[in-house]
Copies of this chain bind each other. A is one copy, B any other.
Amino acid sequence: MAQSDTVTRILDTAEVLFAERGFAETSLRNITSKARVNLAAVNYHFGSKKALIQAVFARYLDPFSERFHSALDALEARYASRDIPLEVLLETMATTVLEVPAERNSLKVFMRLLGLAYSQAQGHLRRYIQQEYGDVFSRFTELVRRATPDLPDAERFWRLHFMLGTVIFTLSGLDALRDIAEKDYHQQVSVRDLIRRLRPVVVAAMNAPLPDERDTEPHADTVAH
Residue among B95, B169, B192, B221 making CB contact with A165, cutoff 8 Å: B169
- Copies of this chain present in the complex amount to 2
Interface 9-residue window, one of A34-42, A44-52, A53-61, A209-217: A209-217
Contact A223 B121 (CB under 8 A): no
Chain A interface main SS type: helix
The residue of chain B having its C-beta at the shortest distance from the C-beta of A200 within the complex is B208
In the complex, are the beta carbons of A208 and B204 less than 8 A apart?
yes
Let me know if A2 is at the binding interface, CB within 8 A: no
* CA A158 to CA B176, docked complex, whole Å: 12
Cβ contact within 8 Å between B170 and A199 = no
Please give the residue numbers on chain A whose beta carbons come within 8 Å of chain B beta carbons, in ascending order. Answer: 20-22, 24-25, 91, 95, 98-99, 101-102, 105-108, 115-116, 118-121, 126, 153-155, 157-159, 161-170, 172-173, 176-177, 180-181, 184-185, 187, 190-192, 194, 196-205, 207-212, 215-217, 219-225
